[in-house]
Every structure is written in C-alpha cells, then in structure tokens.
Amino acid sequence: MNITNILLTFVVLIIVGVLIKYVIEKNKNAEVEEGIDIDDKTYTIEKMKEFVKRRLDEITKINLYDIGLSEEELKRRKAKKYELKRALKGCTYGDVNDKKYVKELIYDLLFKEYGVTEVNISKAIPFDIPSLLSSQDKFDILLYAYKKDFGYEALAQIIKKYNLATLKYIAGEAKPCYVITKEEIDDIFDKEALVLTFQDKLNVVVQRIYQHYKGYSSIDEIRDMNIDGVSGRSIRTSRKFFKPSCTNRWRLLRTNYRTQSTKSM
C-alpha cells in the first residue's frame, strides 16, 4: 500500500465521518412530525381519525429516554404519559371521565396541529348545508346541543319535548312499535334551527372521531345518558342488554354494526 492509497483512505474516512455527523445533526434538529399535506380529503372524518390515531400512538409509544429530558421533566412526562395510557384504556370500558380526557386531547390535536378551521370543518360534516346532513349527523348535533343544556338528561329531554315515546305504525310492520324514525329526527332538527359556533362544530366532529376510534360507535353518546340501558339484537347473537353503569366490551358491541338497535328508557 503506497502513500497515495493511505491518503485516499483517510480522505474517504473523513468524508464519511462528516456525512454521518451531518445526518445526525440534521435528525437531531428535525421536527418530530412533518407538515400535513392538504388535499380534498384531508379534512374528512376518516383522515382526521387516522391522524388522531397516529399522533396518540406517537405520544404513548415514544421512548422518553431518547429525547434528552432532564430528570424532573422525565418524571413529569412519564406521569402524563401513564395518565394518557390509563385514559385510553379506561375509555374502551366506557369510563365517562376518561372519555372526556381523550376527547379534550383529540380536540387539541385537531385544532392546534391538524389546522381545523371554521371553513374546512364543513368537509367533515356539512354543517352549513343542512340538506347534506345525514340523519346521524342531525341526531349527533341535536344530542350535543341538548347535552350542553341538560347534561345526561339530554336524550330524555328530546324524547319528552317532542313526545317521541309513543306507539307508531311503521311501513312494512304489522304491529305498532316504539321507534324514533329518521323523518322525526329530520323534523326535530328543522324545528330546533340550531346555530352552532366553531367550538360546537368541532366538538361534534371530535365526538364522531372518538366514537369510531375508542368509543361504542353510534350508541356511544346514547349509552352515557341517564337511561336504563341500550339493547342491541342481531341475527347471530341473542339479545344483549347494555347498561351504562356496566362495563361493556367492544367485542360484544361490534355486532351492533349489523343490527337494528332499540333504545329503552
């Protein structure tokens, strides 16, 4: 090996060293998350749900020892991380307080990080065009508005105010039954003529994301109300009765996707 080879080896080693140092420095200074690419689907419920899921995973799975925190800060962050983990676990069992906590976090993530505004929130749920709202959207908005005033008595109040707990004849059914129809919800929504602020709209969106992510889907809010329980029936399973005060497992409720659910007061 002559002197030129040795020199070239040194030069290569120095270049590699400088490159490694540059990459390390770049990674150190790089932000944890890149900016959000905005397109037509960015502010749909699905995309927002994906974002929330990813961010909460990042927060709960991050190794705190890697980010160079002081001893005291590490202790605090560990406590907060544990609190969040506990809440995420608790809300799947229907804990109302954990649900509130997780919803507050989702609200912050969407508002501060995802950039949800008065304009783009309508892409998730078309609040500004009532004709485009589905009956579920209308029911969610109604329940939210009533919950603000009456708390957990909201559903009872809607039923009482519009006299919904009456026997009705439904097309295709021989016998009368207790049922709240789509038309009734549409009618109530029109009568109420609710004016929602941005905060209200975002809260409705947050609830929708939450109920598909950690909650009990469409019965999530109803289940929290002061009612005797929610009963669901499917072809496969026998009749199940879910009490708000009981711990219900998600596995049982999954059947609800394909079932007709009835509310019993």
Partner 1 sequence: MAIVSFWSNGREETGKSSAIVALSTLLGVNHNYKILVLDTKYNDNFYQDCFWKEDKTIKMINSNNAKTDIGHGISGLSKAILSNKTSPEIVTNYTKIVFKDRLELLMDTNVEPEEYERHKTIFTDIVKMANKYYDLVFIDIDSSLDNKLTDSLLEISNLVVVCLPQKLRKINEYLQLKEENLVLRSKPILPLIGRYDKHSKYNAKNVSRYIKEKRGICTIPYNTLFFEACNEATVADFFIKFRKINSKDRNAMFIADVRQTAEKIISRLQELQMRM
Nearest Cα neighbor of 127 from 222, 45, 36 is 45
3-state secondary structure of 233: strand
Q: Shortest distance, CB of residue 101 to partner 1, whole angstroms? A: 4
Q: Which is nearer to partner 1, 37 or 183 (CB)?
A: 37
Separation of alpha carbons 115 and 38, rounded Å: 10
Q: Which is nearer to partner 1, 106 or 164 (CB)?
A: 106
Q: In 151-197, where does DSSP find H-type helix?
A: 154-161, 182-192
Contacting residue, 13, 36, 93, 97, with partner 1 by CB under 8 A: 97
Task: Retrieve residue 260's tokens.
Answer: 């007709």
The site for partner 1, by CB under 8 A, has a size of 31
Task: Retrieve residue 37's tokens.
Answer: 């690419």
Q: Which residue has the tokens 């699905």?
A: 46
Q: Shortest distance, CB of residue 125 to partner 1, whole angstroms? A: 20
Q: Shortest distance, CB of residue 220 to partner 1, whole angstroms? A: 16
Q: Shortest distance, CB of residue 102 to partner 1, whole angstroms? A: 8
3-state secondary structure of 178: strand
Under the criterion CB under 8 A, does residue 124 sit at the interface with partner 1? no
CA distances in angstroms from 14 to 7, 17, 18, 228, listed in the order given: 11, 5, 6, 74
Under the criterion CB under 8 A, does residue 105 sit at the interface with partner 1? yes
Task: Retrieve residue 238's tokens.
Answer: 């026998």
Contacting residue, 47, 49, 53, 69, with partner 1 by CB under 8 A: 69
SS (H, E, C) 115-129: CCCCCHHHHCCCCCC
DSSP 8-state code for residue 65:
G
User: Which parts of 11-30 interact with partner 1 (CB under 8 A)?
Assistant: 29
User: Which parts of 191-230 interact with partner 1 (CB under 8 A)?
Assistant: 199
For residue 232, the cross-strand partners are 240, 261
Contacting residue, 7, 12, 13, 67, with partner 1 by CB under 8 A: 67
Under the criterion CB under 8 A, does residue 40 sit at the interface with partner 1? no
Under the criterion CB under 8 A, does residue 53 sit at the interface with partner 1? no
Task: Tell me which residues touch partner 1 (CB under 8 A).
Answer: 29, 31-33, 58-59, 62, 64, 67-69, 72, 76-77, 79-81, 83-84, 87, 97-101, 104-105, 108, 111, 113, 199
